[in-house]
Structure 1
């Protein structure tokens, strides 16, 4: 399998990886094994987070109980999925030759060639097929979300004179550079969503073409002002006005600066 470099070509890393750096010697001493080199590069490039809202990457750093390498029935777990499957190594012999083991929550397990980074790259590109894991949806550009504290805003907008495709282009131009995170559209074209992220600031956005249409965004708390300024500038260029600002749960916010989860 190919390694971390091929994965980076397929999936843009986050601007600021979470729990990506630490004392590898201490981590290895705690685990009682030397960790594979491709995994270390994978962690330092992406950090703690998830690929395509499905496959979670764990790291040996940080304090979260949800982010740790752990033993499970003789296997060393380095990742998981939203379905509760575990991504592991069988830790026998040279760490660079440890096979990747996918242990399903309910339907057994299967074994793949060595290389955590290569396995992830194969899954996101469709090159690796698994009887346990769900397939990456065809036609979607793969993405990665870093697990970090975020604020959430939803902006309900007036329609304005511009068609949806032009509004979307303007929004992404203002927030450039951006990376795709998938999209869908109803058969009649009246409903749909476009998901994307900012490559330099790690903001996650969904543009919803419902009526009235809306933009949903999540961003690190430190980016509160920058996210507001760039998003409102985009809305003006889209020839729309903001009708309401809410939380992710639909609760009205008095202004952009109010705190929400």
Structure 2
């Protein structure tokens, strides 16, 4: 059975995308050396049209500034690449099929649903152990979305900050990794 572990909150939610990226660069010093000389030209209009929703600005900024990477050879941040935007959306929909089964089997006091349901889940990352990292969407807008972790070992939990702040707090140790291994500040670059 699956259970809801709880909710963690940042000390102060970072709402400026550039500030969030700077915080991630601070806790992952090796990241800065790989910043692209010019931002990627991801067709966000296409991605968001295919999804039917505008994605958070911090996520979009990180995707534009850096090649796709994994943290601690464990956590993969899924990111659309120029020319492969539709493939990224299709992969998100495939992940939603698996997450739908998890939601059905979850023993949660408050059921979770998939996007496009109000407050529905939308994936942004995975782990090599079968964990899913999701947004819990919010009708008030993408800047209000929070992170939801669906752990392969059965625990579900929330983090009331954005994706980039979640990554920074997880790597720095500020965030308790409930059901996840310790994520070290090691970067693996993923070939696309």
Question: TM-score normalised by the shorter chain: which range applies?
Answer: 0.5 to 0.7
Partner of 1:8: 25
1:79 aligns with 2:125: yes
TM-score norm. by structure 1 comes to 0.50
**Structure 1: unaligned runs, 5 residues or longer:** 150-261
- Aligned equivalents of 2:152, 2:173: Cα separation in 1: 22
Partner of 1:44: 64
Q: Of the two structures, which has the highest relative contact order with CA contacts closer than 8 Å and spacing of 6 or more?
A: 2
Aligned-residue Cα RMSD (Å) equals 2.5
Partner of 2:190: 147
1:32 deviates by 0.7
1:45 deviates by 2.4
Contact 1:52 1:144 in 2 (8 A): yes
Once structures 1 and 2 are overlaid, which stretch shifts more, 90-99 or 64-73? Answer: 64-73
1:98 deviates by 0.6
Higher strand share: 1
**Structure 2: unaligned runs, 5 residues or longer:** 1-12, 15-19, 101-113, 115-120
- Aligned equivalents of 1:20, 1:56: Cα separation in 2: 19
Partner of 2:164: 117
Greater Rg, structure 1 or structure 2? 1
Query: 1:134 aligns to what SS in structure 2?
Result: coil
1:131 aligns with 2:178: yes
TM-score norm. by structure 2 comes to 0.66
- Aligned equivalents of 1:96, 1:29: Cα separation in 2: 18
- Aligned equivalents of 1:20, 1:143: Cα separation in 2: 23
The number of equivalent residue pairs is 144
The match for 1:30 among 50, 53, 63 is 50
- Aligned equivalents of 1:66, 1:35: Cα separation in 2: 13
